[in-house]
Chain A
Amino acid sequence: MIKFLLMVNKQGQTRLSKYYEAVDLGKRAALEADVVRGCLARRKEECSFVEYKDYKLVYRQYAALFIVVGVTENENELSIYELVHNFVEVLDKYFSRVSELDIMFNLDKVHIILDEMILNGHIVETNKNRILAPLLALDKMTES
């Protein structure tokens, strides 16, 4: 199962964090710093999987933004790798060419998207239209 998902930029600033198992606020900072350091240090030609403590980290880089997913030992790395891309595609579709700023300014919406895709540490939906349906409904609600 998925333990956490982080979006971090190259400067190591967290842009989004979601934990599927409660982690102490203090430990979060340490964990994020650790994880980010581990992933940022890696070169492009290195593989996207890192072993970190009990987790496996699966990360992908999009421009200056890293998406890092911490999963348990038994998770299929490749499927998570694909999931990350799927997530970015959904973001791209909603924000039409998503940028780091989109994510910062619309943190709550990104969370809605994420919650539609991953629930309780499991992949729950991968269809873009179905993922975006609640969000679009919400947008309509606020417009009216």
Chain B
Amino acid sequence: MALKIVKGSIDRMFDKNLQDLVRGIRNHKEDEAKYISTCIDEIKQELKQDNIAVKANAVCKLTYLQMLGYDVSWAAFNIVEVMSSSKFTYKRIGYLAASQCFHEGTDVIMLTTNQIRKDLSSPNQYDTGVALTGLSCFVTPDLARDLANDIMTLMSHTKPYIRKKAVLIMYKVFLKYPESLRPAFPRLKEKLEDPDPGVQSAAVNVICELARRNPKNYLSLAPLFFKLMTSSTNNWVLIKIIKLFGALTPLEPRLGKKLIEPLTNLIHSTSAMSLLYECVNTVIAVLISLSSGMPNHSASIQLCVQKLRILIEDSDQNLKYLGLLAMSKILKTHPKSVQSHKDLILQCLDDKDESIRLRALDLLYGMVSKKNLMEIVKKLMLHVDKAEGTTYRDELLTKIIDICSQSNYQYITNFEWYISILVELTRLEGTRHGHLIASQMLDVAIRVKAIRAFAVAQMATLLDNAHLLTGNTQRNGICEVLYAAAWICGEFAEHLEDPMLTLEAMLRPKVATLPGHIQAVYVQNAAKLFATVLQKHEGETDSQAAQETSQLLIDRLPLFVQSANLEVQERASCILQLVKYIQKLQQKNVEVAEEVTALFAGELNPVAPKAQKKVPIPEGLDLDAWINEPPSESESEDEKPKAVFAKEEPKHSRSRHTEVDEKELARRREARKQEQANNPFYIKASPSSQKVYDAPGVEHIPVVQIDLSVPLKVPGMPMSDQYVKLEEERRQKEKADKKKKEKKKKREKRGKGRKGDSGPESEEDITPAHHVDIVTEEMPENALPSDDDDKDPNDPHKALDIDLDKPLADSEKLPVRTHRPEVLKSPAEDRDDNTIPQETKKKSSKDKKEKKKDKEKDRKRSKEDKKKKKKHKDVEEELPESLPEEVVQSEETKEASDLDFWLSSAPVPPVAQVVTVSSSAAAATVDSSSAAAAESEPEELKDTEPDDTKSSKHKKKKQKKEKEEKEKKKKKRHHHHHHHHSDAGAEDSVQNGTVEDEEPLPPMSNYSLLAENSYIKMMKEDADQVCDIQGNHQDESKVVVSVIFENKSDSFLKSMEFNVLDSLNSKLQRPDGAGPHDGLTVPFQLPPGVSNEARFVFSVQSIVMPQKLKGTLTFIVKTDESSTHEKLDFKLHFTCTSYLITTPCYSDAYAKLLESGDLKGSSLRLEGVNMPFHHLLARICFHHHFSVVERIDSCASMYSRSIQGHHVCLLVKSSDQTVSIDAKCDEPSLLGNVLDEIKQTFSKC
């Protein structure tokens, strides 16, 4: 044995380790591949040995080689071997290799399931950790399914080190096995409040990632995240949360409103740029979602823009880049705020960094206006000339075109200028965007009728100088422009000054070197030009010119007939034959022009790019049905020749509308305008351009003399610059004209001194130089509004679009490995106290205990907000099984209303509505009442401390809520209509749906009359709050009592003092320095008829018995003449119930609890209870602070926990008006008292 070890280590001495391998590769720079292949051979030998150390070493080297790009998949099995080594040092090497090399297709992965499971449950946390890390890289759907439950268990591991990893892995598991999301989600949610910030952060990460893809399912978590956001100081977590809110706000604008304030606070206070940037981003998202009708937020926008400006001005390029990036988001909704920073953006165009320049370009897009378009484009053209790299130059080019053509050429006032810009752009060498320029030329020429003459002249020049464009051998891209030029010249030939010249240019032999599709257009348009020439010379006595033209064609066309391109060949030969025929006719002196022209008659209308798609499919037409027998599979699909001008195709197709009904057109245009006007996203042309349509005609166009013979490259000043100057002059002149007119009409204005400056000139002042009719693109009649968001059906996140608010069904459990088949029991039996769900058995008892401890910690931490939610949920949870369908619906509305509560800052939250609607029908849902009660709770902590610094806004809100609550109580008690009724009823809208439940729960309240006299009425509720104000005083528990004071008199009540005689056991919490008999001042005064609520905190020692405390309220009654002291005695009754806190409990934990045997039992029978079972449960939940653990038919298990940590478990069964309650608790006297109280509750009804 010893010999073997020695031998093994000797072997190892000769083996290369990773370091040797790395060194070796460095020393064999010349023949690296050869060296590595010998190394791989060695590794193969090493892998054959039995010694695991040798194998691990070999695998370690393989990992390095894999990184260098060598395929090591052949060693997959060896990797698994090393993974299953019992020594951690080897195991981790195996897992590392696996995480680098394995992927879903690796077949040995299925061998690893058991090994991984073993490692996951290993007592060594590093074993578990390494298994989790590895799993995150190579988890397959099978592994996810098999291990989901194990990982979920690890989410509650005692060590945060494991918990945080397990939480993060769950995300991958969800992706691979979507069914696991719902069962695991409650626990994941729980982890948001984990005591360890690392775990918390992991949970936030996972939920953020989930929510990013399917935000609507996570909307209900918003309150929780809001709390985290306001309490967390971890910037990494904050960034994630804020990001998440960015995804949620588009769905719920009210959330946005709520967020603005904390976010702006963060923006002001944080010094972390990353956080600042994130906040700004989310504020922008919020503002976008609120976009309409929120003028109040201009301050926030200003703040964002200011901060971004600081970022952009920073010398750090990273900040500059991000600043610009965020700025472009603001631009979409608030262009005005960004436009004021134009100087800065233009500066960025000169930046050294290309990505910054590109970002600045993006911004420019949104910053142009009629006024500055020419100036900005001029600047960009300068950059085009300077630009070094072609990519950046091409980017500039596309941006120029984008900027000019945006919103239907909204900002172009002078199309001659634009055409010249396009022509100038053709001078760019080697650009890829020839077709883009071409399509712009086509678009403008077709749609802007007024510009045709000018465009045709320019295009003719282009054609004439085509050699400049095609001069260099491979300037391929730009020759696309000739396509447009030829087509424009042909189609609008009537504007040509000398069609003959252009025709000649189009038939030069050089044309044959152009790409086929361009030649085809040349040939076709040559025919059009021919027709024009014929027509021009028609009627002339001398038919010489016409005949010469025919001859020219007959001479030149054969060149094209020989073309290799089929299209060119076909067209050329057709036209050649046609011309030959015409020539014959000409020789006979027959007038042919009219007939030839008829070939090309009719006007082309621009068709919207999506028009084809929007043609509605006629009824009864199945496009998918085969017309013929389906072809056999073997048929090879020939690749279709790529249509370069695919987009333009509809325009060129010869299906011309010969006669377009003008009326019809006008009607459609009108309808379209209407639609555009109603569409908030449609950026309308500014009114000035609209008016222009019927403004005086062509005479007003400034006469621009352009010498057509000027060659393309003008030495010195480029052409478009002339327009800039002219435009400048024109505007000034216009301004002057205007001023003159104004002077005549009105008295002199201040504006006199403005002469000559190009200063504050409003958009409306600029009238376009051209009175342009931009023809809108045609759409088919009754086009279908198609939504274009085609989602990727392969998106793995699609499967995770799961409603998480629906309660879990029994069937939804993670698969658990079982050793024996599960016995199916009838549900009634199943709920025996001692039945333990299968999955819990597996866990070690140690695990259990620690888990419990953990949970308790969690609970302690959980604050009002959570509790409120849970309490609320529990009431709901018992409903579903009995009323499956309606409940789901009402669940939703309830969930929604819950969120509504949280979100509504409006004065009347939905409670009021529900109450008013249902005061007679008694249909108020538990939801609304409990939510109403709960709503006031969150502020409770702060309120109990006499804290006057709180914002008055908060207080107001709170008072309002309480008023409503109060109002509701009154209705219930007195059943008469109150003067506030109409007030509250007026605002009905949000959710009357809740009321329509078939079996509504009766209204419930925990408020009871405390004392009353002619002046005042007190009602109290034991708010079941534990506030661990000092977390280290574990033994000290606190109970909060809310008391509503209502002034019943006509006088003003003030100086109220609340005092209680402390007992040994229970003491009123008084502020520091106050004596044990001093009263507490009630922090408000009561005008006549008004009520308000105050909260008092009591500390309690023992909670097993109910208590009574005597107390007095003293106050001053102030009337007009006099003021009198009055007092009111009361008795505060602390029931044992009030020491219970609604605490949710998972069925597995519940079963464990019962199994532990620490609990003593007791039972109770109630006769003659005549109410539906779910009402019964709701009552117990509501009045006695229990939560339903599980419910099957008319049998339910319930759980609650006292403020001192006693567990109280109930099993409630109901049959024929008899309810039996079996109860267990670790404190028998507490249990006895609670049961008595439950009995009392039901005896009352």
Asked whether B168 lies within 8 Å of A120 as measured between CB atoms, the reply is: yes
Closest to A14 in B: B67
Asked whether A141 lies within 8 Å of B89 as measured between CB atoms, the reply is: yes
Q: Given A79-B236, A119-B136, does the pair A125, B355 have CB atoms closer than 8 Å? A: no
Surface stretch bound by A, among B313-321, B523-531, B766-774, B1043-1051: B313-321
Closest to A83 in B: B236
Interface membership of B133, Cβ < 8 A? yes
Partner of A81 from the list B22, B69, B89, B318 (CB cut-off 8 Å) is B318
Chain A neighbourhood of B321, CB < 8 A: 47, 49
- Shortest Cβ gap from B797 to chain A (Å): 12
Chain A neighbourhood of B89, CB < 8 A: 138, 141-142
- Shortest Cβ gap from A29 to chain B (Å): 5
Closest to B136 in A: A120
A134 to B355, CA, bound (A): 40
- Shortest Cβ gap from B12 to chain A (Å): 14
- Shortest Cβ gap from B176 to chain A (Å): 12
Surface stretch bound by B, among A62-70, A88-96, A104-112: A104-112
Closest to B134 in A: A115
Closest to B315 in A: A45
Asked whether A124 lies within 8 Å of B317 as measured between CB atoms, the reply is: no
Partner of A111 from the list B96, B138, B236 (CB cut-off 8 Å) is B96
Interface core residue of A17, A20, A119 (most chain B CB under 10 Å): A119
**Which residues 107-144 in A have Cβ within 8 Å of B in the complex?**
107-108, 111-112, 115, 119-120, 122-126, 130, 134, 137-138, 141-142
Chain A neighbourhood of B273, CB < 8 A: 78
Chain B neighbourhood of A142, CB < 8 A: 89
Closest to B165 in A: A119
Q: Given A16-B67, A78-B322, A119-B168, does the pair A108, B209 have CB atoms closer than 8 Å? A: no
Interface membership of A97, Cβ < 8 A? no
Partner of A125 from the list B60, B172, B198, B353 (CB cut-off 8 Å) is B198
Interface membership of B901, Cβ < 8 A? no
Chain B neighbourhood of A53, CB < 8 A: none
Q: Given A76-B243, A142-B89, does the pair A49, B63 have CB atoms closer than 8 Å? A: no
Closest to A114 in B: B133
Asked whether A108 lies within 8 Å of B67 as measured between CB atoms, the reply is: no
Asked whether B322 lies within 8 Å of A77 as measured between CB atoms, the reply is: yes
**Which residues 251-278 in B have Cβ within 8 Å of A in the complex?**
273-274, 277-278
Closest to A51 in B: B355
Q: Given A47-B317, A79-B239, A124-B168, does the pair A108, B126 have CB atoms closer than 8 Å? A: no
Asked whether B318 lies within 8 Å of A48 as measured between CB atoms, the reply is: yes
For B64-102 the 0/1 string (1 means CB < 8 A from A) is 101111010000000000000000110011001000100
Partner of A47 from the list B132, B243, B353 (CB cut-off 8 Å) is B353
Q: Given A50-B355, A123-B236, does the pair A112, B92 have CB atoms closer than 8 Å? A: yes
Q: Given A107-B63, A107-B67, does the pair A46, B352 have CB atoms closer than 8 Å? A: yes
A106 to B563, CA, bound (A): 66
Prevailing SS type, chain A contact patch: mixed
Interface membership of B171, Cβ < 8 A? yes
Prevailing SS type, chain B contact patch: helix
A104 to B132, CA, bound (A): 25
Interface membership of A82, Cβ < 8 A? yes
Asked whether B69 lies within 8 Å of A29 as measured between CB atoms, the reply is: yes
- Shortest Cβ gap from A69 to chain B (Å): 14
Q: Given A76-B278, A134-B126, does the pair A105, B165 have CB atoms closer than 8 Å? A: no
Partner of A25 from the list B22, B69, B88 (CB cut-off 8 Å) is B69
Chain A neighbourhood of B64, CB < 8 A: 107
Interface membership of A10, Cβ < 8 A? no
Chain B neighbourhood of A49, CB < 8 A: 318, 321-322, 355
Closest to A56 in B: B325
- Shortest Cβ gap from B136 to chain A (Å): 4
**Which residues 17-34 in A have Cβ within 8 Å of B in the complex?**
17-20, 22, 25, 28-29
Partner of A107 from the list B18, B136, B202, B353 (CB cut-off 8 Å) is B18
Chain B neighbourhood of A137, CB < 8 A: 126
Q: Given A49-B321, A119-B133, does the pair A82, B274 have CB atoms closer than 8 Å? A: yes
Asked whether A126 lies within 8 Å of B236 as measured between CB atoms, the reply is: yes
Interface membership of B19, Cβ < 8 A? yes
Asked whether B136 lies within 8 Å of A47 as measured between CB atoms, the reply is: no
A19 to B67, CA, bound (A): 11
Asked whether B243 lies within 8 Å of A74 as measured between CB atoms, the reply is: yes
Partner of B274 from the list A74, A76, A115, A130 (CB cut-off 8 Å) is A76
**Which residues 34-51 in B have Cβ within 8 Å of A in the complex?**
none
Q: Say which size band chain A's interface belongs to.
A: 35 or more
Q: Given A81-B318, A112-B92, A125-B198, does the pair A134, B129 have CB atoms closer than 8 Å? A: yes
Asked whether A104 lies within 8 Å of B22 as measured between CB atoms, the reply is: yes
Chain A neighbourhood of B60, CB < 8 A: 108
A81 to B60, CA, bound (A): 30
Chain A neighbourhood of B239, CB < 8 A: 76, 79
Chain B neighbourhood of A40, CB < 8 A: none
- Shortest Cβ gap from A28 to chain B (Å): 7
For A1-25 the 0/1 string (1 means CB < 8 A from B) is 1000000000000101111101001
Asked whether B171 lies within 8 Å of A78 as measured between CB atoms, the reply is: no
Asked whether A138 lies within 8 Å of B353 as measured between CB atoms, the reply is: no
A133 to B526, CA, bound (A): 81
- Shortest Cβ gap from A130 to chain B (Å): 8
- Shortest Cβ gap from B526 to chain A (Å): 44
- Shortest Cβ gap from B245 to chain A (Å): 13
Partner of A138 from the list B67, B92, B100 (CB cut-off 8 Å) is B92
Asked whether B354 lies within 8 Å of A46 as measured between CB atoms, the reply is: yes
Chain A neighbourhood of B66, CB < 8 A: 25
**Which residues 9-24 in B have Cβ within 8 Å of A in the complex?**
18-19, 22
Interface membership of B356, Cβ < 8 A? yes
Asked whether A28 lies within 8 Å of B136 as measured between CB atoms, the reply is: no
Chain A neighbourhood of B356, CB < 8 A: 46-47
Asked whether B205 lies within 8 Å of A122 as measured between CB atoms, the reply is: yes
Chain B neighbourhood of A123, CB < 8 A: 201, 205, 236
Interface core residue of A48, A107, A141 (most chain B CB under 10 Å): A107
Chain A neighbourhood of B18, CB < 8 A: 105, 107-108
Q: Given A107-B18, A107-B63, A119-B169, does the pair A48, B317 have CB atoms closer than 8 Å? A: yes
Interface membership of B137, Cβ < 8 A? yes
Asked whether A43 lies within 8 Å of B352 as measured between CB atoms, the reply is: yes
Q: Given A43-B352, A76-B278, does the pair A115, B133 have CB atoms closer than 8 Å? A: yes
Interface membership of B212, Cβ < 8 A? yes
Asked whether A108 lies within 8 Å of B318 as measured between CB atoms, the reply is: no
Closest to B97 in A: A108
Q: Given A76-B278, A107-B64, A108-B96, does the pair A45, B353 have CB atoms closer than 8 Å? A: yes
Partner of B277 from the list A14, A76, A107, A111 (CB cut-off 8 Å) is A76
Q: Given A77-B318, A77-B322, does the pair A124, B164 have CB atoms closer than 8 Å? A: yes
A134 to B92, CA, bound (A): 11
Asked whether B243 lies within 8 Å of A46 as measured between CB atoms, the reply is: no
Interface core residue of A18, A134, A142 (most chain B CB under 10 Å): A134
Asked whether A124 lies within 8 Å of B198 as measured between CB atoms, the reply is: yes
Chain A neighbourhood of B355, CB < 8 A: 46-47, 49-51
A14 to B22, CA, bound (A): 13
Partner of A120 from the list B19, B92, B171 (CB cut-off 8 Å) is B171
Closest to A16 in B: B67
Closest to A81 in B: B318
Asked whether A78 lies within 8 Å of B165 as measured between CB atoms, the reply is: no
Q: Given A20-B137, A47-B321, A78-B273, does the pair A108, B352 have CB atoms closer than 8 Å? A: no
- Shortest Cβ gap from A96 to chain B (Å): 18
Chain A neighbourhood of B68, CB < 8 A: 14
4 additional contacts (CB under 8 A) given A17-B67, A142-B89: A25-B69, A43-B353, A79-B235, A120-B169
| Chain A residues engaging chain B, CB cutoff 8 angstroms | 1, 14, 16-20, 22, 25, 28-29, 43, 45-51, 74, 76-79, 81-82, 104-105, 107-108, 111-112, 115, 119-120, 122-126, 130, 134, 137-138, 141-142
Could you show 10 A-B contacts with beta carbons less than 8 Å apart? A20-B136, A46-B353, A49-B322, A78-B318, A107-B64, A123-B205, A124-B201, A124-B202, A138-B88, A142-B89
